[in-house]
Structure 1
């Protein structure tokens, strides 16, 4: 059984991008997160401590978006996924980072990067960096 918690449309201002003006001016980023985990214990207990508290999750994610700048939204998405996976109950985190004000000289609706990470891929990635 795979249950899900979804947090969509989380908006925060960050200073990410490859161009100096993006880092200086900042822009809004929108984050969507899907967490896969077993929610049966929380459903039975009706206790918030048996689930991922989505308000606390939102706070952690906003701090990352508002925090240290990175060049690529791929890097930002990876950092957000890692934060989601710090809760051992989460088996998979799928994160989409939208950059609606990306510096593209053409009309467009959205630019987004989506990635999925599991505890297994997270530990492999950490081993690769070691």
Structure 2
């Protein structure tokens, strides 16, 4: 593939480095990207929907790095590469991260990596209402160990929905990740995390729970098997799924719909349900 998008010297201020003073002060890093992609279709249609949205990619990189606290620019480069490859149309990425004046007598130190696309893009809905702050934090640690996490939405609090008796409020968020596992193994990993955190399944599907992890999308798969429907129908029927998904996947084409999530009008089961953004 010879078609490339090149972005030079995207500047971000963040915490980066191993020394004490570096952990206390932000430094400037510069990001150079080369995105390998097929430009034949957008060149023909002249339509942004057919092109790789490099503005969105640059904004996501800034959002990823500004609050980050990496020790090594090698790790930072790897995370930026994962983010770029999560975008439709990007088949390979070269990431160069420069740390100006990191070494006395040198104007710049940089690392450069090249990564091909690999794995299946998935989205997870994560929630719970039994000690949810601790369980969601523990759940995210386990999710990061089992999957390559690309983005995590803000956390939202909402009343328990569909219940017969009063329950604690729920906390919910959405996760964008890559997996090298097939659908069966991906669901098995999710179930393992739930059981590890004390999830008890009962006949009452609205019972309180320590954690609930739903597979919302698995690549472009459309399925109605025993393991559940894909894409998950609650993406468009529940505010606590739709809203965090819009935070991290507004431009993702919903399998079976042929349209981006932001172009689909949700049909909420309870339009009166209100969400509150909270810090986890």
Instruction: State the partner residue of 2:15.
Output: 15
Deviation at residue 18 of structure 1 after TM alignment:
0.7
1:116 aligns to 2:114 (yes or no): yes
Kindly indicate whether the alpha-carbon contact (under 8 Å) linking 1:17 and 1:70 is maintained by their aligned counterparts in 2: yes
Matches of 2:29 and 2:64, distance apart in 1: 11
Q: TM-score, normalization: structure 1?
A: 0.87
Instruction: State the partner residue of 1:58.
Output: 58
Which structure has greater helix proportion? 1
Trace 1:79-118 onto structure 2 (pairs within 5 A). Answer: 79-102=79-102, 104=103, 106-118=104-116
Deviation at residue 2 of structure 1 after TM alignment:
2.5
Q: TM-score, normalization: structure 2?
A: 0.42
Structure 1 window deviating more from structure 2 (15-24 vs 78-87): it is 15-24
Matches of 1:27 and 1:101, distance apart in 2: 10
Deviations 1:42-82 (A, max 9, x none): 10010111111121111011112212211100000000000
Deviation at residue 92 of structure 1 after TM alignment:
0.4
Deviation at residue 22 of structure 1 after TM alignment:
0.9
Matches of 1:26 and 1:62, distance apart in 2: 14
Q: Which runs of 5+ in 1 are unaligned?
A: none
Task: For CA contacts below 8 A with separation 6 or more, give which structure has more relative contact order.
Answer: 1
Q: Which runs of 5+ in 2 are unaligned?
A: 121-147, 149-178, 181-188, 190-280
Matches of 1:67 and 1:115, distance apart in 2: 22
Runs in 1 of length 4+ with deviation above 6 angstroms? none
| Larger-Rg structure | 2
Q: CA RMSD in A?
A: 1.8
Kindly indicate whether the alpha-carbon contact (under 8 Å) linking 2:101 and 2:107 is maintained by their aligned counterparts in 1: no
Deviations 1:73-118 (A, max 9, x none): 000000000000001311101000000031x2x3112100000011
